Amino acid sequence: MIENHEYRQRRRLLMERMAPGSLALLPAAPERVRSRDIHHAYRQDSDFYYLTGFTEAGALLALVPGREKGETVLFCQPRDPKKEQWEGVLLGPEAAAAALGVDEAHPITEIDERMPGLIEGRERIHYRMGADAGFDEKVMGWACGAREKARLGGPAPKQFLLLDELLHEMRLIKSDSEIHLMEEAVRISVEGHRRIMRYCRPGMREYELEAELLHSFLRHGSRAAAYGSIIGAGANACILHYDSNQAEIADGDLVLVDAGCEYRHYAADITRTFPANGRFSAEQREIYRIVLRAHAGAVAAVSPGAPWDAAQEASVKAIVDGLLDLGLLTGSADKVMEEETYKDFYMHRVGHWLGIDVHDVGSYRNGENWRLFAPGMVTTIEPGIYISPGNENVDPRWRGIGVRIEDDVLVTGTGNRILSDGLPREPEEIEALMAA
């Protein structure tokens, strides 16, 4: 649970960092049609949510630092008994100020009329340009209106600035209450993974595992998976974003499950790869062990002050060494690195920031340099080896093996903590869980 004072503090901090003489406009996510009268399940915009905790559509937050009448102004849907009869209770502007701790709240229907007053005297508007053509047009209209009014004197908007860098730097460092929610998202997801490892049998369809996962997520209070669950059996494990999940799981297959729930808007992102019949084959175990070493090396590289790329390098090194040992790569390690031939087997990065978005915001570089890890950052670590079934450069016994191991790692003051450590990762632990 994140309290109002934390949202207030975030808005205050952001306003302190905004350009002088500016205001910021953050719209709620639009509703999107899934099929005719039916909408996709509504998901609030992550930036808007981070600053308000408000989950309704049809809203906009204006941050107007230094405005005497109030610096934080929310527009939201007015109460409407008829609409509420169909779609559920709305907060309404009358209750919103107190409920969300903003200075003022108004009906969204009054936004065109009120916006010139908020923009008046401001030279810069922070908003996410180019994300939504309809909203671009609205902001342009408000800005032009304000310029017209200011022709007789006084400042008027002449610059549009992205808010992303300021806001996303804040989102990159998780507070204690955010970490608590992420721990819960991870705990629920781990429970789901454990459930399907025990449940899996050759002859099932991939979607049967997906059903068990979702069952587990929902019954523990998650409302959705954080992203389309990837359940890839056999060679399907080699398709990085496989999510059709229709195939039959054969005896002797490895099953790669990349799935995490969203809990109160925070994501977990976890992958395990396990043998459908409960026992790794010799080849599967060899590949698995390499990925496990890459995972351990990368996790060890996640500590405050270390550059982001150290984790990447550690994972590449372990995978290159391992594949050379098995003869799946040939030549010297230096040459493999230089020519990047390992990318036939390991073609993605070792991880990404995790938070309100699965691929969370925050840069990976500061100019030329890799960003340094700092306490409160959460990254995934997810090395993998994928041997394409069509790879004729390797002995057929290796073909179609795909392994990824993904955990969610919090940077602490002294090193890191694997939030998803409760899920077995060692092959023998996985076999024991599946046999239980």
Note the residues at the interface with ligand GLY (CB under 6 A): 227, 258, 269, 352, 382, 406
**Which DSSP helix (H) or strand (E) runs through 294?**
helix 282-300
Considering the complex, what minimum distance in angstroms separates the CB of residue 377 from ligand GLY? Answer: 16
Query: How far is it, in rounded angstroms, from Cα 391 to Cα 342?
Result: 13
How far, CA to CA in Å, does 49 sit from each of 44, 58, 86? 6, 13, 24
Q: How far is the CB of 351 from ligand GLY (least distance, A)?
A: 8
Cβ distance to ligand GLY smaller for residue 63 or 196: 196
Active site (annotated) includes residue 103: no
- Give the residues across from 381 on adjacent strands: 407
Annotated catalytic residue 386 = yes
Instruction: Using the minimum distance from each CB to ligand GLY, give the nearer residue, 18 or 255.
Output: 255
- Annotated catalytic, 283? no
Min dist. Cβ of residue 380 to Mn ion (A)? 4
End-to-end CA distance of the chain: 35
Q: Respond yes or no: is residue 5 known to be catalytic.
A: no
Contact of residue 180 among ligand GLY, Mn ion, none (CB under 5-8 Å per partner type): none
Query: 263 exposed, middle or buried (CB, 10 Å; 0-12, 13-18, 19+)?
Result: buried
The footprint of Mn ion on residues 258-297 (CB under 5 A) is 258, 269
Nearest to 376, CA basis, from 304, 296, 269: 304
Pick the closer one to ligand GLY by CB: 53 or 384: 384
Q: Which is nearer to ligand GLY, 178 or 258 (CB)?
A: 258
CB 124 within 8 A of CB 19: yes
Binding-site string for Mn ion from residue 357 to residue 396, where x marks contact by CB under 5 A and - marks none:
-----------------------x----------------
Supply φ then ψ for residue 282, to 5 degrees.
Answer: -60, -45
Tell me how far, at minimum, the Cβ of 423 lies from Mn ion, in Å.
13
d(CA 279, CA 286): 13
Active site residue 348: yes
Q: Which does 227 bind (CB under 5 to 8 A by kind): ligand GLY, Mn ion, none?
A: ligand GLY
The answer to whether the Cα torsion of 361, 362, 367, 372 is positive or negative is negative
The DSSP result for 21-51, as a single string, is: TEEEEEEPPPP-EEETTEEPPP---HHHHHH
**CA 263, chain centre distance (Å):** 12
| Known catalytic membership, residue 241 | yes
Q: Which of 348, 349, 399, 417 does the annotation list as catalytic? A: 348
Q: Note whether 408 binds Mn ion by CB under 5 A.
A: no
**Catalytic site residue 43?**
no
Catalytic: which of 198, 201, 215, 241?
Answer: 241
382 is a catalytic site residue: yes
Residue 407 lies near Mn ion (rule: CB under 5 A): no
CB of 98 vs ligand GLY, minimal distance in Å: 39
Sign of the four-CA dihedral 289, 293, 295, 296:
positive
Q: Which residues have C-beta within 8 Å of that of residue 312, sequence separation ≥ 6? A: 298, 349, 350
164 binds Mn ion per the rule CB under 5 A: no
Q: Which is nearer to ligand GLY, 253 or 258 (CB)?
A: 258
The DSSP bridge pattern shows strands 230-233 and 254-259 to be antiparallel
Nearer to ligand GLY, 178 or 382 (CB): 382
Catalytic site residue from 47, 164, 206, 406 = 406
Q: Is 40 a catalytic residue?
A: no
CB of 108 or CB of 259, closer to ligand GLY: 259
Q: Which residue numbers are catalytic?
A: 37, 241, 258, 269, 348, 352, 359, 382, 386, 404, 406
Can you give the binding site for Mn ion, defined by CB under 5 A? Answer: 258, 269, 380, 406
